[in-house]
Structure 1
């Protein structure tokens, strides 16, 4: 099965750990199993500023850096506990359970999607706290 990706001019993609930047609009056809993230899916350590964002970062690193999987997995477990405490609502519990299942199966790419859901829920929860405090 071929994976087709279109990149905008200057957009970055990480393929098996190599950072690639497109020059002009670029279409890629990937015909083997690879670890791949587009530039918009990549998070820097500085951007991991909340528990859910840190969970995304550690999951991304587990996906991209399998040589240090044990270290990344330990950080995922620790951070997931913080996220669970922050999001005790039904949606939060369901999203953390989906994430935990995928992470346990080392399906880190799909777990990143669950992290994006957790980041949205966290953003809403933090906005409510800020609203109440004001």
Structure 2
């Protein structure tokens, strides 16, 4: 796999952080787990349940030698999401994500989680809209 990086960009490979000082293309010739800087979510941006799940799986990808703590947190968070989700699309997505995480395919799991962000956003928008509606009662 060939990855192109801009000057000053970072890439996270198997727990190591590399920053390039000039535009470069890197060919990854073996099986590695990596994230480009633009795919990394900061803790402050994990503001919804799915974004928190993304952040947890990201921790597992970025530090593959120490996944015990994030894996436990992932299990708890994933179970909590399953307990409250009613959307078939979300439930199917969570099942696929769990299968990917279970086979240490963290990058693919992150892609699947990102694909569910708009679904979660729509659900949250509907909930917020319903919460602001004032019920009318006839006198």
The alignment's TM-score, normalised by the length of structure 2, stands at: 0.84
Flag the structure with higher helix content: 1
Larger Rg: 2
CA distance in 1, matches of 2:107, 2:64: 13
Q: Secondary structure at the match of 1:28?
A: strand
Preserved CA contact (<8 Å) 1:87 1:122:
no
Which residue number corresponds to residue 20 of structure 1? 18
Which residue number corresponds to residue 69 of structure 1? 67
In the TM superposition, 1:47-58 aligns within 5 A as 47-58=45-56
Q: What is the CA RMSD across the aligned residues, in angstroms?
A: 1.7
Match for 2:111 among 110, 113, 127? 113
Match for 1:127 among 110, 125, 129? 125
Structure 1 runs (4+) deviating above 3 angstroms are: none
Q: CA deviation at 1:7?
A: 1.6
Q: Structure 1 stretches of 5 or more lacking a match?
A: none
**How many positions carry a matched residue from both structures?**
132
CA distance in 2, matches of 1:46, 1:77: 21
CA distance in 2, matches of 1:58, 1:91: 21
The alignment's TM-score, normalised by the length of structure 1, stands at: 0.87
Preserved CA contact (<8 Å) 1:11 1:21:
yes
Match for 1:102 among 100, 103, 126? 100
Q: Structure 2 stretches of 5 or more lacking a match?
A: 133-139
